[in-house]
Amino acid sequence: GLSNARIIIIIIIILPVWCVCRRTVSVQVDVKVRVPSRVSGRLGAPVILPCKFNSSFAHYTTVEITVLWRTRKFFEGPVIFHSVNSANNETLIKVNARERYTLVGNPREQDASLQLDWAELEDNDQYFCRVEVSRKLIYTSKHESNPGITLEVTGQPEILNLTQHRVNQTHQILTCTAEGNPRPTITWTNPRGNQTSVTRILDHYRIESWAHNPQVTGNYTCTVTNQLGTTSRSVYYQGNEVMLSFELLLVIICVSTVLLIILLAVGVFIWRAKKDKGSYTVGHPEDDINST
Per-residue pLDDT reduced to its tens digit, 218-232 = 999 999 999 999 999
Reported pTM: 0.70
Neighbours of 154 (CB within 10 A): 18
Q: With 60 as the cut, is the pLDDT of residue 60 above it?
A: yes
Q: What angle do CA 106, 107, 109 make, to 5 degrees?
A: 70
What is the residue-averaged pLDDT of the chain?
A: 84
Band (pLDDT 50/70/90 cuts) for residue 279 is low
pLDDT for the residue 244: 47
pLDDT for the residue 292: 44
**Which domains can be identified in the chain, with CATH numbers?**
30-147 (2.60.40.10), 155-241 (2.60.40.10)
Show the DSSP H helices in 130-181 as ranges. none
Considering only residues 195 and 133, tell me which one the structure prediction assigns the higher pLDDT: 133
The backbone torsions φ and ψ at residue 27, rounded to the nearest 5 degrees and listed phi first, read -90, 0
Q: With 70 as the cut, is the pLDDT of residue 210 above it?
A: yes
Rounded-to-integer distance, Cα 291 and Cα 188, Å? 99
pLDDT for the residue 269: 76
